[in-house]
């Protein structure tokens, strides 16, 4: 059975996305593969039912390969 958090569409309004920052680094986030990624902190935040979960303790580490793709 699919996890509802990962199977839900993760479209965010571009204006809303532009306001979001990483709670750790205070830098902008990038939407990629249904997650919000931060280059500076190396953290990825999930989106549940269209709501970004910007809790540092629930964030995942971004792999080196993913970080390299971000630039």
Q: 10 falls in which pLDDT band (50, 70, 90)?
A: low
Contact of 41 with 22, CB cutoff 8 Å: yes
CA nearest to 62, candidates 49, 50, 20, 45: 45
pLDDT (mean) for 40-58: 96
Fold of 4-70: N-terminal domain of TfIIb (2.20.25)
Contact of 11 with 52, CB cutoff 8 Å: no
- Answer whether residue 11 shows pLDDT above 90: no
pLDDT (mean) for 11-30: 95
Q: Give the global pTM.
A: 0.81
């Amino acid at each position: 059975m699919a996890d509802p958090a990962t199977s839900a569409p993760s479209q965010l309004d571009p204006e809303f996305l532009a306001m979001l920052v990483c709670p750790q680094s205070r830098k902008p986030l990038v939407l990629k593969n249904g997650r919000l990624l931060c280059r500076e902190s190396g953290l990825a935040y999930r989106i549940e039912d269209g709501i970004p979960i910007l809790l540092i303790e629930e964030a995942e580490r971004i792999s080196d390969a993913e970080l390299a793709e971000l630039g």
